Structure 1
């Protein structure tokens, strides 16, 4: 079976760090709170139909009745979906090789509709997305290769001033309060930009590389960029890099160049850019906007999303990884991890302080 760019990348990553992508904790997870009781047999039937509709999920998995719901549940790739019902909570768990965050919400939306007896149109299959992705890759390979080579030839990984190294780490921390987030959002609007661009500018300034005008970060781009892909279940994401200009210390000056770079990186993301001469041990950065949907209706029962999470940390971190997202109460939080051999935890703590100074100073 042909794999997507994301799946190919994840499998190659697992070959270097066994268990990272093929392990049971490489999952996307959602928890719903129910305001009534669901009919287990009816839910089981809807779940079976959901799997039959989507080839990417076909596993013959059954609804699991459990005594307590938890957000992280192991999922094997051979059976990439699990649904658990525990009293007034319902949880869905999907292996990340066959899903992305949006897949969670699409699957839950269809599950609720099927439970409610609604007729759904024929499902668009992820295999169609994979074939279209390969076709786009073939058509744009030459121009994309030229563009990426012009961006990464002289790019520099942000240097590490502490060669002594340290211990592996993985932790979460609040970066900005709700009031500070509101201030940054106002600055973003004033510069006609996006939160990703503003945060990248701050991160580039905080890392303050010794040399090089272009910085590189590994990242992922969502590619539900055609109407057909808006409703497909599967990982419509592309592994790529952000090749962005070094920050100068002025948001007004940094944002336009940063915005143009991000637009270009996204436009040419459907290319195996990581196969080029990207500096080794490039930090990973991802801004995950809060996209929790409203309540679902399972017949007369309302289901509200009360938790969502990506892969569970299993101690297999490589270079520095930073995932930033707003919470439901308006706080900007960051998830930081690394193996400590170059970016150490004390250095990352200092990095977050510089990040804040740039945005709020």
Structure 2
């Protein structure tokens, strides 16, 4: 079966055209490693994995260059029993899932073109439930929805809101400023992680966020734009690219597949305090999310000189608790998104809270528009804004 690609998949393919191998390559993956408190029956696990692929078309979907999802009729991946697992493992686009077992460690790897963080954890959850059911001689209930159904519904919604979305984005990006910082001389590509706030500082910021009726995304966006203030004039709007989660119907809550939409964040220049900035940033985030299902290529066409737009994403901590594989408990010990492969383009910032409560940021750039010193300036402004509260 062949179905049109979703908005996310189409966007990712467009990215790969400019950076061959970035999104279609084997390291563009979602990954999880689990520690087991006992040994699993490899034969039962292998059968469960095969059944899981049969149940969910996303796990046997290949993304084609002509922007089609090709669903293969039969599973193409088998359980790998190896000596040692790693957080990252390459996943071929034509076989978008790998499951690896090494003693009391289990690793799942999914290609990001057919997965998102929710898909990662739902796959582990159903694998555990299927294994438990197999031990008891039982079977799981039928799957509620397949990813192609989400893609079709997404396309229909995009058609319904197109006129309103067109007008909203046209007005929003008219005075937008993409924070493109030409370096005095090109630097080296960069990719690094750095703590932004301690656990106690995060607790303080979360308390202020609730007090001002905001969300972590709103708070961190206000802080990030403050960090870029030295480079942007008063009255201007900051423009970032981002991803919005769109499991916005009951049927999509547990469907396997990337229910995410690439879009923009058009955020007003902050006034200097969280209390003053939250209402304007909240209004911007709500509008951007409402009209996210609109072709990003059209929004790009309205941006003067079409500069490379920085990427920002707040990733909530989504590690689940224990999974039960029959009598065996499994605990997540490592999880990660795509591996850095040196193909970073415009600056990208991903912010998340770790399991010990620390706010950490992952920064990457190609060193052309944003060099490492400039990135550290933004990081410093981010902290200063939040801690001044």
What band does the TM-score fall into relative to the shorter chain? over 0.9
Matching residue of 1:137? 158
Whole-angstrom CA distance in 2 between matches of 1:16 and 1:187: 41
Matching residue of 2:97? 81
1:163 is displaced (CA, Å) by 3.5
Q: Deviations over 1:31-68 (max 9, x none)?
A: 11000110000000000000000111124210000100
Whole-angstrom CA distance in 1 between matches of 2:248 and 2:114: 18
Corresponding residue SS for 2:140 = coil
RMSD between superposed Cα atoms in Å: 1.1
1:175 to 196, 203, 228: 196
2:264 paired with 1:241: yes
Whole-angstrom CA distance in 2 between matches of 1:294 and 1:223: 23
Matching residue of 2:65? none
* Compared CA separation, residues 273 and 12, structure 1 to 2 (3 A): closer
Matching residue of 1:192? 213
Whole-angstrom CA distance in 2 between matches of 1:61 and 1:187: 48
Corresponding residue SS for 1:160 = coil
Matched-pair contact (CA < 8 Å) for 1:30–1:104: yes
1:120 is displaced (CA, Å) by 2.5
Whole-angstrom CA distance in 1 between matches of 2:182 and 2:153: 44
Whole-angstrom CA distance in 2 between matches of 1:226 and 1:119: 26
Matched-pair contact (CA < 8 Å) for 2:177–2:232: no
Corresponding residue SS for 1:148 = helix
1:213 is displaced (CA, Å) by 1.9
2:54 paired with 1:52: yes
Matched-pair contact (CA < 8 Å) for 1:241–1:274: no
Matching residue of 2:222? 201
Matching residue of 1:24? 26
Identify the range of structure 1 (341-350 vs 270-279) with the bigger mean alpha-carbon deviation.
Answer: 270-279
Where structure 2 has 5 or more consecutive residues not aligned to the other structure, the ranges are 61-74
The two structures have a TM-score, normalised by structure 1, of 0.98
1:43 to 32, 45, 66: 45
* Compared CA separation, residues 191 and 106, structure 1 to 2 (3 A): same
Matching residue of 1:345? 372
Matched-pair contact (CA < 8 Å) for 1:159–1:210: no
Whole-angstrom CA distance in 1 between matches of 2:76 and 2:385: 51
Matched-pair contact (CA < 8 Å) for 2:180–2:370: no
1:159 is displaced (CA, Å) by 4.4
1:161 is displaced (CA, Å) by 6.1
2:134 paired with 1:98: no
The two structures have a TM-score, normalised by structure 2, of 0.91
Matching residue of 1:4? 6
Identify the range of structure 1 (346-355 vs 69-78) with the bigger mean alpha-carbon deviation.
Answer: 346-355
Q: Deviations over 1:109-144 (max 9, x none)?
A: 110111011533322100000000010011111111
Q: Deviations over 1:198-226 (max 9, x none)?
A: 00000001101433521100000000010
Corresponding residue SS for 1:116 = helix
Whole-angstrom CA distance in 2 between matches of 1:222 and 1:176: 25
Where structure 1 has 5 or more consecutive residues not aligned to the other structure, the ranges are none
1:250 is displaced (CA, Å) by 1.3
Matched-pair contact (CA < 8 Å) for 2:180–2:307: no
Q: Deviations over 1:294-345 (max 9, x none)?
A: 1110000000111110000100000100000000001100000000001100
Matching residue of 1:120? 140
Whole-angstrom CA distance in 1 between matches of 2:259 and 2:141: 20
Total equivalences in the alignment: 361
